[in-house]
Amino acid sequence: MAAPEAFQGCHSCNYNFVIMPPIPRRRKPGRYHPRPMRVEAVQGDITAEAVDAIVNAANSSLLGGGGVDGAIHRAAGPELVEACRPLGGCHTGDAKATSGFRLPARWVIHTVGPVWRGGGAGEAELLASCYRRSLEVADELGARSVAFPAISTGIYGYPAEEAATIAVNTVRSTPSSVELVRLVAFDDRTRRLYEERLA
């Protein structure tokens, strides 16, 4: 028998009674558990991805920048920066969501990757945190399909091989209700790096 969770005294009769923890119900497999996550690599422009949420490799201001960030802001329209303004920026490794406005995706999850400083400044853990936090935010939104760019591998200089390993390992090991993750490579080499790690 399971151990009692709490004891309470009963004033009127002086009996002590015990509140037992609820008896766990048997769950039918497949009905209540999230479906296993499918992870796939594709090559292209993330702004065209018709998924529930795309992830933006943003900078900590969340007010737009170059690379994929600039492309997402251009495609989403000027409403996106207005939606980002009240978020008050974002710490490296964290993620925050907005609507997708004119994008095919319903939401944009903005995450801030680490700048590569040689690998000794916690970059790997911060990059893993970007993928993990983005999936957590996707779960909060109820998103079932999420597309990621190769966070930090452009202007922020993260080596593509190591970043691809972290991307694949982190999405695979993060418990989530997201059913489809698309790792969107902008170039051929990054797509191959993903495919090797997913094989």
Residue 152 is a binding residue for ligand ADP (CB under 6 A): yes
Q: Which residues pair with 8 in a beta bridge?
A: 17
Region binding ligand ADP by CB under 6 A among candidate stretches 26-34, 40-48, 102-110, 175-183? 40-48
From the list 45, 69, 139, 187, the catalytic residue is: 69
94 in active site: no
Residue 100 is a binding residue for ligand ADP (CB under 6 A): no
Sequence-separated (6 or more) residues with CB below 8 Å from residue 184: 42, 43, 44, 45, 46, 49, 147, 148, 149, 150
Tokens coding 175:
């418990």
Region binding ligand ADP by CB under 6 A among candidate stretches 19-27, 28-36, 137-145, 146-154? 146-154
- Which one among 135, 137, 150, 166 touches ligand ADP, defined by CB under 6 A? 150
Region binding ligand ADP by CB under 6 A among candidate stretches 5-13, 24-32, 120-128, 181-189? 181-189
How many chain residues touch ligand ADP (CB under 6 A)?
21
The answer to whether 141 and 163 are in contact (CB under 8 A) is: no
Task: Please say which residue, 35 or 189, places its beta carbon nearer to ligand ADP.
Answer: 189
Angle between helices 160-173 and 123-141 (to 10 degrees): 40
Sequence-separated (6 or more) residues with CB below 8 Å from residue 142: 52, 177
Q: What is the DSSP string of 36-76?
A: PPEEEEEES-GGG--SSEEEEEE-TT-S--SHHHHHHHHHH
Instruction: Identify the three-state secondary structure at position 18.
Output: strand
Residue 67 is a binding residue for ligand ADP (CB under 6 A): yes
Residue 114 is a binding residue for ligand ADP (CB under 6 A): no
Task: Please say which residue, 52 or 69, places its beta carbon nearer to ligand ADP.
Answer: 69
Maximum CA pair distance of the chain? 77
- Which one among 94, 137, 149, 181 touches ligand ADP, defined by CB under 6 A? 149
Instruction: Give the active site residues.
Output: 69
In the complex, the residues that contact ligand ADP under the rule CB under 6 A are 45-47, 57, 67-69, 71, 113, 149-156, 184, 186-187, 190
